[in-house]
Amino acid sequence: MSKVYKVVVIGLGKRGMHHATHFQANTRFEVAGICDIDRTRVEAASARFPGAKTATEAHTLAAVRPDVFCFCTLPNVRTELVQDRH
């Protein structure tokens, strides 16, 4: 049996939702977590990805122990995430 990879998608705009939807459609992946700084987007997306942990801060999804972090955020948001963790 093939391994199923846990994925966390950070950023739920058009590109993030596209990635998450395609991960979900592939049986080799499980969308284990979704995150966006906009709580409204997270709540709207949670219905499409049942069972996925939700968050507005990416670092809180590390507990999911994903195999893949898919960052679909603007460059300035990624920079802020990295700087906040150091």
pTM of the model: 0.85
Specify whether domain 5-85 bears CATH 3.40.50.970.
Answer: no
The pLDDT value recorded for residue 77 is: 64
pLDDT at 75: 72
pLDDT at 28: 97
Q: Which two tokens stand for residue 10?
A: 């950070």
What is the per-residue pLDDT for 55? 96
Mean pLDDT, rounded, of the chain: 89
Using CA atoms, how far apart are residues 71 and 9, in angstroms rounded to an integer? 6
The SS3 assignment for 50 reads coil
* Tally of residues, the chain: 86
pLDDT given at position 10: 95
What are the residue boundaries of the structural domains of the chain, listed by start? 5-85
Residue numbers of the chain with a pLDDT score lower than 50: none
